[in-house]
């Protein structure tokens, strides 16, 4: 009888430990409809440099800030691709949605003709335990040709950004939707700052 009870307990323990973790994958950047391959040659070209991401964001788990200085990494909710790539693609898509300029990736052949360059450092991009999501960091706008640099005495304009949005529902799925909107907010701010540069 004791042997039977021990076997039953062991079977229960093995069953509990062998349960697979249900992992959910999230995309920040998704394909958009009606993409056009033709660039408007009358619009100025702006190149988006590769994104610099804070070290703690360089892993697959979605992050939540708990209290002031503590971070929680979800084991079940993860990015489908690295955040650096996904954020870059989402930002490029949103910048081009403004329709004012041709924003191109650093690897694009047109990047060589760019009049302005954007560099972004992403410091924070996560949910919080206060039912919100935050995105913050810094970006730099610089002229990519000598004539423009002479007209702009400093050559490089530095800007900080901080966006926060309240979460109306719980869960990482809702947090990712709101984080995506913060990328759009950043694209709008960058576009305004580029428009304010001399000769833009």
List, for residues 130-181, the tens digit of each pLDDT value. Answer: 999 999 999 999 987 544 444 444 468 999 999 999 999 989 999 999 999 9
What CA–CA distances, in Å, run from 69 to 64, 87, 122, 128?
Answer: 11, 24, 18, 11
The percent of residues above 90 in pLDDT, for the chain, comes to 66
| Range(s) of the domain holding residue 178 | 42-195
Residue 166 in tokens: 């309240």
Residue 33 lies in a domain: no
Q: Does residue 177 lie within any of the structural domains?
A: yes
Tokens of 94: 């949103």
Q: Per the domain annotation, does 4 fall within a domain?
A: no
In a 3-state reduction of DSSP, which class is residue 5?
A: helix
Cα separation, 169 vs 16, in Å, equals 31
Q: How many domains would you assign to the chain?
A: 1
Residue 185 lies in a domain: yes
Instruction: Kindly tell me the sign of the dihedral angle through the C-alpha atoms of 87, 89, 94, 96.
Output: positive
- Residue 36 placed within a domain: no
Q: pTM for the whole thing?
A: 0.83
- Domain with residue 125: its CATH number is 3.40.50.10610
Interaxial angle between packed helices 172-195 and 83-97, expressed in degrees from 0 to 180 and rounded to the nearest 10: 50
């Amino acid at each position: 009888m004791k042997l039977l009870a021990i076997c039953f307990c062991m079977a229960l323990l093995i069953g509990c430990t062998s349960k697979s973790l249900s992992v959910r994958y999230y995309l920040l950047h998704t394909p958009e409809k009606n993409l056009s391959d033709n660039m408007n040659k009358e619009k100025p070209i702006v190149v988006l440099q590769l994104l610099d991401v804070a070290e703690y964001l360089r892993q697959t788990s979605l992050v939540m800030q708990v209290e002031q200085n503590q971070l929680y990494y979800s084991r079940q909710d993860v990015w489908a691709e690295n955040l650096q790539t996904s954020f870059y693609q989402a930002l490029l898509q949103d910048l081009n949605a403004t329709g004012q300029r041709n924003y191109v990736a650093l690897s694009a052949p047109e990047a060589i003709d760019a009049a302005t360059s954007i560099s972004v450092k992403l410091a924070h991009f996560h949910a919080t335990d206060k039912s919100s999501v935050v995105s913050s960091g810094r970006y730099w706008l610089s002229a990519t040709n000598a004539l423009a640099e002479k007209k702009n005495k400093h050559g490089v304009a530095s800007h900080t950004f901080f966006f926060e949005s309240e979460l109306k529902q719980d869960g990482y799925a809702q947090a990712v939707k709101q984080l995506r909107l913060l990328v759009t907010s950043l694209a709008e701010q960058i576009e305004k700052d580029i428009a304010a540069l001399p000769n833009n």
